[in-house]
Amino acid sequence: MRLFVRLLLLYRSSWGWMALGAVLSLAALLGNVALMGTSGWFIAAMGLAGAVGGTLDYFSPAALIRACAIIRTGGRYAERLVTHEATFRLIARLRTWLFGKMEPQSPLALGRYHSGDLASRLRTDLDRLETAYLRIVLPLVIALAATVLILAWLGRFAAVFVLIEAAALIFSGLAVPLLLSLRSARWSRQRVRLMVRLNEQAIDGMQGMGELLVFGAARRFIARFAAVSGEAVALQARLARLDGLSQAGMLLGSNLALWGVVVAAIPLVRRGDLAPADLVMAGLVALSAFEAVAPLPGAFQSLGAVLESARRIFAMADACPPAAPSREHSGLRPDRCDLRLTGVGFTYDGAAHPAVRALDLDFPQGRRIAVRGPTGAGKSTLVLLLTGLLEPDEGTITLNGRPAGNYDGETRRACFAVASQSPGLFCGTLADNLRLGKPDAGDADLWHVLGVAGLSDFVAAIPNGLNCWLGETGLTISGGQARRLSIARALLRDAPVVVLDEPGEGLDYSSERAMLRAVVEDLRGRSLLLITHRAAGLDLMDDIVFL
d(CA 412, CA 17): 39
Query: CA-to-CA distance for 239 and 405, rounded, in angstroms?
Result: 51
Distance CA 85, CA 78 (A): 10
Residue 135 is classified by DSSP as I
For 407-446, the pLDDT digits (tens) are: 877 788 888 999 888 888 888 888 998 998 889 999 999 9
Give the pLDDT confidence of 175-219 residue by residue, as tens digits: 999 888 888 888 888 888 898 889 888 888 887 888 888 888 989
**What pLDDT is recorded for position 368?**
93
Residue 167 confidence (pLDDT)? 95
Among residues 354, 348, 416, 425, which one has the least CA distance to residue 108? 348
Question: What does the pLDDT read at residue 81?
Answer: 94
Say how many residues make up the chain. Answer: 547
SS3 string, 217-257, reads CHHHHHHHHHHHHHHHHHHHHHHHHHHHHHHHHHHHHHHHH
The residues with which 498 forms a beta bridge, in sequence order, are 417, 528
Give me the mean pLDDT over the 463-487 stretch. 83
pLDDT digit string, tens, across residues 366-385: 899 999 888 777 888 888 88
Mean pLDDT, residues 466-472 taken together: 83
Predicted confidence at residue 325, as pLDDT, reads 46
**491 near 480, Cβ under 8 Å?**
no
Distance between CA atoms of residues 8 and 12, nearest Å: 7
- pLDDT, one tens digit per residue, over 332-348 is 556 678 899 999 999 88
Q: What is the mean pLDDT of residues 491-519?
A: 87
Domain residue extents for the chain: 1-319, 339-546
Task: Give per-residue pLDDT as tens, 29-87.
Answer: 999 999 999 999 998 888 888 777 677 777 888 899 999 999 999 999 999 999 999 98
Mutual orientation of helices 276-288 and 218-271 as an angle, nearest 10°?
160
What confidence score (pLDDT) does residue 305 get? 86
pLDDT score recorded for residue 106: 64
Residue 195 φ/ψ region, left for φ over 0, alpha for ψ in the -120 to 50 degree band, beta for the rest: alpha
Distance CA 203, CA 198 (A): 9
Confidence of residue 147 (pLDDT cuts 50, 70, 90): very high
Fill in the amino acid letter for 471.
G
Is residue 490's pLDDT more than 50?
yes
pLDDT value for 489? 92
Q: What percent of the chain has pLDDT over 70?
A: 95
pLDDT at 323: 45
DSSP string of 36-81, one letter each residue: HHHHHHHHHHHHHHHHHT-----HHHHHHHHHHHHHHHHHHHHHHH
Predicted local distance difference test score (pLDDT) of residue 524: 87
Region 155-159 average pLDDT: 92
Mean of the per-residue pLDDT values for the chain? 87
Q: What's the CA gap between 186 and 305, in Å, rounded?
A: 9
Confidence of residue 326 (pLDDT cuts 50, 70, 90): very low
Task: Kindly report the backbone phi and psi dihedral angles of residue 469, in degrees, each rounded to the nearest multiple of 5, phi listed first.
Answer: -85, 125
Give the type of residue at 223: A
CATH architecture of 339-546: 3-Layer(aba) Sandwich (3.40)
Question: 1-319: which CATH topology?
Answer: ABC transporter transmembrane region fold (1.20.1560)
Residue 328 DSSP one-character state: B
Q: Strand pairing of 356-363 and 339-346?
A: antiparallel
Full-model pTM? 0.71
**Beta strands across the sheet bearing 339-346:** 356-363, 339-346, 394-399, 402-403
Confidence band for 530, pLDDT divided at 50, 70 and 90: very high
pLDDT at 327 over 60: no
